Structure 1
Amino acid sequence: MRLKKFFNLLLVTGLFAASLAGCNGSAGKSAGGDTAATGQTSQNEKKGPNGETLASEQIAHGQQFHVITFDTAQVGDSESGSFFLATCEGLFRENHGVLENAGCEKYEVSEDGLTYTFHLRKNKWSDGVEVVASQYKDTIERVLNADLACPYAFFTFPIKNAEKYYNGECDFKEVGVEAVDDYTLKFTLEAPEPYFTDKLSYTMFNPIRVDNIEKYGDTYGTDAMQILSCGPYMVQEYTASQSTVLVKNPEYWDAENVYLEEIDLQQIDETATQFQLFEADQLDFVAASGDYLKKWDQAASEGKCQLYTNGDVASQFFSFNTQESSPSGLMQNAKVRKAIAYTLDSQTFIDSVYNSRYTAAYGLVTPNIKVGDKEYRTEVPEPIKEEYSEYANNPEKLKALFHEGLKELGKDTDNLSTITIQFLGYGESTIEKDIEQYVVQRIQDNLGIKVNLNIVGDFGLAHSAQVAGEFDMCMQVWGADYNDPMTFIDIFRTGGSSNYGKYSSETYDKLLDQLAKEQDNEKRLKLYEEAETILIKEDVAIKPLLYRDKHSYINNRLKGFQYPVFGGKYEFKYAYIVEE
């Protein structure tokens, strides 16, 4: 089913939303200027991986990616990560929560844990050029270019001399990455890191084509049509905030086991429209939401669709701008931050905004994250759960704490209604409006101060405002990139690219430095506990809200579609459509 046919169906069924008007991708060129061919084969002669009869048309329909950047070095979000899961192939790929060799056929680790040697597969880019080890080396050099300010540059710092090169203290030839030959890649680390291979599955370690980057110059990363693919799919059509068409990449090393010939993604803002399209078999997967949970859980129990549920490794929290330059000029004080934080009750937030879905959080690190073979959240109590209960729904105690903070700043007043703080939000969806209403109501009711809403149009604009520090408080969601608490804890290192509130603590940073060198998991548990307590309870850089879960509905015809544990939101490589 082609894109234009999809829109005709929307019109016929009366489901066409205003947000989709003008959605008309231009067919023709694929990424990097090569012509995109669907590479369709006769599916009637081919069975699915479990012997199923495949539908003649292997096209999946889903929601548009909200991609912030098309530069792998700049990716720091799961939506952009999903785009590159489809179009790129790194050394590893997650399959049902397990890392599998992808760009590498095999690898060895030295006995001291310092040297990793990877033997690459024979793979090609979508323009027919070979994928070689030097392209993996090039990506490390690019990510470590401090002028680019890549958000995940710190991921490379365990590599020998990587941080020194980033800081301009040595030449790149001294960095511990080597293209031994076209199909052998070697990394040398500063110290053993138990989750190094987990990191290598992340987008910023994917190979790059320097010639293609140079071709587009300063505009590289701004347009999906610039992308050369070395993954299962390549871009055929792309219109920002409207639609994407991905087609099978015939040059991909494992193309024989890629079943979907095409993936059509559409921007559909309204939840009601999403579920109407899903019910009409015009969307193949949709996230559970609000009042639709009960109806579609029941539908799944009756076999009308597939229900996907699983614990997630994503944490949702409010971040505070800790700088004097924040809009109110008050957030630099920890007591002010704590008073505001403790007006925001995790459980009532979940009940009000998400119809009682998700789990209330009083820590940053989610369940399902391990230190060695022990689950962190089982071993370490949530740092603010007990203290929060002392302040919950107690306006007098919260105001007293707020006044203490104001006095320390020399800005105390008897009339708290003269004080205004700014909350940064984005979008006009029902959920976003519910979040804004909750924040305003809870803070005003408990403290008597005013909340000014600064609402920007979309996630990209919100991200820019966060980076610029244009908020007193804002919402963040952080999904783990690998299975260790460090994936959450090191967000808030001084100068961290996703540390939007500019939190800085010498004590906290020293704990992170200790953790980078510590190999004993029992000691690491204690260090993580100490760091999390400082961040949330003592310095109140953030206010935890909830631990997310995955709860979605999938069309019965779509099999093998996955929601990865780490990295991107969607994995299409293993998906296929069966005959109904």
Structure 2
Amino acid sequence: MSSRKIALTELALAALTLTAYSQKQSSQNEQELNWSVGGEITTMDPSKATDVVSFSQMINSMEGLYRNSKDGQSPGLATSARVSKDGLTYTFSLRKSKWNDGTPVTAKDFVYSWRRTVNPKTEAEYSYLFSGIKNADAIQNGKKPVSSLGIKAVGKYKLVVTLEKRMAYFKDLMAFPVFFPQEEKAVKKYGDKYGTASKYMAYNGPFVQKGWSGSNLSWKLVKNPDYWDKKHVKLDQISFTVNKTATTAYNLYQSKKIDALGLDSNLTKQFKGKSNYYGLANGGTYYLELNEKNPNLANSNIRKAISLAINRENLIRILGGSNQAADTYTAKGLTEYDGKDYTSMISSAAKDLYKYRPSKAKEYWQKGLSELGKSSLTLNLLTSDSDGGKKTGEALQSMLETRLPGLKLTVTSVPFKTRLARRESGQFQICGSDWIADFGDPISFLELLTSKNGSNYGSWKSSRYDKLIAASKNTNDQQERLKDMSEAESVLLEDAGVIPLYYEDDAWLIRSSAKGWICKRSEWNFKEAYVAK
């Protein structure tokens, strides 16, 4: 989940925490958790959200055709799915369910939501995920009306989706919030306020959100009495607060006021391998995004020099957790074929640019400066103001200024929400970013960097890359798809279109009393979570 959109290391260094109500003195039968997150909610509008904090809220307070579960997908609102022989038509039967205002959720709510998201006027960053659904591209390019999108309601509880081509990952997309239904009545009632606070939203999931004003740092999810599967929802309430350091969380953990926390480097060393320690791979990569509208960063030799001057092993030691040095953009462990990880298919020559080679970095740097007609450069790195974001900025500033003569790197650390806004509006030179796959396929990463993708904030472009990605989406032969994608990623890496730093693996300490939670690609699902008494 454009930067799905949060520097997840920053989240990992923040405290993600669960607190059992058994620690309180009253209402012994209640089931409550407290969850501390490292960043603010940006929006509750499924058409507009781009970050993991917001998506986690939606996964727990809303529901689409399917839900991501521990072993794959479980039924959401879809009771069955029928696929035509040519693989181009999906017919979903829907169960009866309600919005929190008592109105039935129907197939028309899906039609309305999808049309709203692909409508160019909505400016939805995730609208590109609809590519492959009939007329989605033409609609987004202003060539066809929104009503021509390949989705229709047949009665109240049957939904038919028509594709332009087979999509190997189509069903995987259906558990992602951008494909959730939306209540048209609520969207029209709240207008510009829709999704900007808890009260300006409609919910149909296991919980209903309360108390988020749009800017405050605390809110709650309360069990939804109208949820169709409420018998499997054990928690009465989850309280959320935003914290930006792991130190505060660990102090709370020691005093038994919280049940879980994300570990920093020192705590990881202390607890790794011990009881209640969890290493949670999130399918994400932390990387540097370079704005090529800046003429200095449009120079590929300057970009390559920056990459080769970074000691990734030292960086992850500073940051801690269970992160691993990265030499690809797509996260390792996301996709396997014939027993091999997808990333093993990427050119070794491309990967060499993501090793620590200071002498080679200096060569590229001097060559780039010569091409620019300069003897020095001043660049700025944008990060979030979390503990992890600040540590990343300090470490990179030291490494790059030491290894690249004539470079002055300033660091700007701002609140997460501000960083997202600046990044999305192109107000940055170098930005510490991350991406977590929306689903288990490399295309979830690689599509972002195609020339016309709205999430390509660095404006890197390659016609060969675009052609290879397009080819990968026009075949259902998995071997051929992976070949095209790995060739495309090799093109990207050989030009240092982005600079991968590490694969994100979150380290957690969670008390044994917190049960039933699911963490998948750093999105937390509390539908069946509970507190063991």
Paired AA for residue 492 in structure 1 = L
Alignment of 1:166-185 (within 5 A): 166-185=140-159
Deviations 1:170-199 (A, max 9, x none): 223322101111100011101111110101
Q: Distance in 2 between matches of 1:385 and 1:154?
A: 28
1:117 aligns with 2:78: no
Counterpart residue number, 2:284: 314
SS of the residue corresponding to residue 462 of structure 1 reads helix
Q: Distance in 2 between matches of 1:382 and 1:248?
A: 50
Counterpart residue number, 1:368: 333
TM-aligned CA deviation for residue 92 of structure 1: 0.6
Cα 1:383–1:371, aligned 2, differ >3 Å: closer, same or farther?
farther
Alignment of 1:143-542 (within 5 A): 143-239=117-213, 240-297=215-272, 300-301=274-275, 306-323=276-293, 326=294, 329-354=295-320, 357-370=322-335, 374=339, 375-380=341-346, 384-389=350-355, 392-394=357-359, 397-408=360-371, 411-413=372-374, 415-416=375-376, 419-427=377-385, 429-537=386-494, 539-542=495-498
Paired AA for residue 469 in structure 1 = G
The number of residues matched between the two structures is 506
Paired AA for residue 168 in structure 1 = G
Q: Distance in 1 between matches of 2:337 and 2:227?
A: 35
Paired AA for residue 331 in structure 2 = T
Counterpart residue number, 1:570: 524
Q: Distance in 1 between matches of 2:401 and 2:269?
A: 33
SS of the residue corresponding to residue 263 of structure 1 reads strand
TM-aligned CA deviation for residue 432 of structure 1: 2.3
TM-aligned CA deviation for residue 145 of structure 1: 1.2
Deviations 1:187-234 (A, max 9, x none): 110111111010111111100011111111122222122121100000
Counterpart residue number, 2:513: 557
TM-aligned CA deviation for residue 453 of structure 1: 2.7
Counterpart residue number, 2:65: 91
Deviations 1:27-83 (A, max 9, x none): xxxxxxxxxxxxxxxxxxxxxxxxxxx961200111146211111001222111101
Paired AA for residue 422 in structure 1 = N
Paired AA for residue 126 in structure 1 = N
Question: Is the 1:426–1:462 contact (alpha carbons within 8 Å) kept by the matching residues of 2?
Answer: yes
Of 194-203 and 543-552, deviating more is 543-552
TM-aligned CA deviation for residue 290 of structure 1: 1.7
SS of the residue corresponding to residue 517 of structure 2 reads coil
SS of the residue corresponding to residue 79 of structure 1 reads helix
List runs of 5+ in structure 1 lacking aligned partners. Answer: 1-18, 20-53
TM-aligned CA deviation for residue 160 of structure 1: 0.7
- TM-score when scaled to structure 1? 0.83
Q: Distance in 2 between matches of 1:269 and 1:490?
A: 31
2:112 to 123, 138, 146: 138
Question: Is the 2:135–2:148 contact (alpha carbons within 8 Å) kept by the matching residues of 1?
Answer: yes
Paired AA for residue 193 in structure 2 = T
Deviations 1:217-270 (A, max 9, x none): 122222122121100000232253421111100000001110000011122333
Cα 1:572–1:291, aligned 2, differ >3 Å: closer, same or farther?
same
Q: Distance in 2 between matches of 1:294 and 1:406?
A: 41
Counterpart residue number, 1:38: none
SS of the residue corresponding to residue 517 of structure 1 reads coil
SS of the residue corresponding to residue 165 of structure 1 reads helix
TM-aligned CA deviation for residue 151 of structure 1: 1.0
Q: CA RMSD in A?
A: 2.1
Counterpart residue number, 1:22: none
Question: Is the 1:281–1:555 contact (alpha carbons within 8 Å) kept by the matching residues of 2?
Answer: no
Q: Distance in 2 between matches of 1:507 and 1:384?
A: 15
List runs of 5+ in structure 2 lacking aligned partners. Answer: 1-13, 15-26
SS of the residue corresponding to residue 441 of structure 1 reads helix
Question: Is the 1:309–1:552 contact (alpha carbons within 8 Å) kept by the matching residues of 2?
Answer: yes
Q: Distance in 1 between matches of 2:292 and 2:92?
A: 43
Cα 1:518–1:201, aligned 2, differ >3 Å: closer, same or farther?
same
How many percent identity over aligned positions?
28
Question: Is the 1:92–1:101 contact (alpha carbons within 8 Å) kept by the matching residues of 2?
Answer: yes
Counterpart residue number, 1:60: 33
Cα 1:105–1:277, aligned 2, differ >3 Å: closer, same or farther?
same
TM-aligned CA deviation for residue 281 of structure 1: 2.8
Of 124-133 and 213-222, deviating more is 213-222
Q: Distance in 2 between matches of 1:499 and 1:383?
A: 24
TM-aligned CA deviation for residue 354 of structure 1: 2.3
TM-aligned CA deviation for residue 117 of structure 1: 0.6
Q: Distance in 2 between matches of 1:222 and 1:487?
A: 27
Q: Distance in 2 between matches of 1:368 and 1:55?
A: 42
Counterpart residue number, 1:15: none
Q: Distance in 2 between matches of 1:499 and 1:190?
A: 24
Q: Distance in 1 between matches of 2:229 and 2:256?
A: 29
Cα 1:366–1:388, aligned 2, differ >3 Å: closer, same or farther?
closer
Question: Is the 2:334–2:442 contact (alpha carbons within 8 Å) kept by the matching residues of 1?
Answer: yes
Q: Distance in 2 between matches of 1:398 and 1:456?
A: 26
SS of the residue corresponding to residue 161 of structure 2 reads strand
Deviations 1:378-435 (A, max 9, x none): 444555333555x7121xx433322322333xx323x43xx211111221x4322221
SS of the residue corresponding to residue 92 of structure 2 reads strand
Larger Rg: 1
Counterpart residue number, 1:129: 103
Q: Distance in 2 between matches of 1:245 and 1:285?
A: 18
Of 202-211 and 437-446, deviating more is 437-446
Question: Is the 2:307–2:354 contact (alpha carbons within 8 Å) kept by the matching residues of 1?
Answer: no
- TM-score when scaled to structure 2? 0.90
Question: Is the 2:286–2:432 contact (alpha carbons within 8 Å) kept by the matching residues of 1?
Answer: yes
Q: Distance in 2 between matches of 1:169 and 1:347?
A: 49
SS of the residue corresponding to residue 158 of structure 1 reads coil
SS of the residue corresponding to residue 441 of structure 2 reads coil
Q: Distance in 1 between matches of 2:83 and 2:442?
A: 23
Paired AA for residue 202 in structure 1 = F
Counterpart residue number, 1:6: none
Paired AA for residue 438 in structure 1 = A
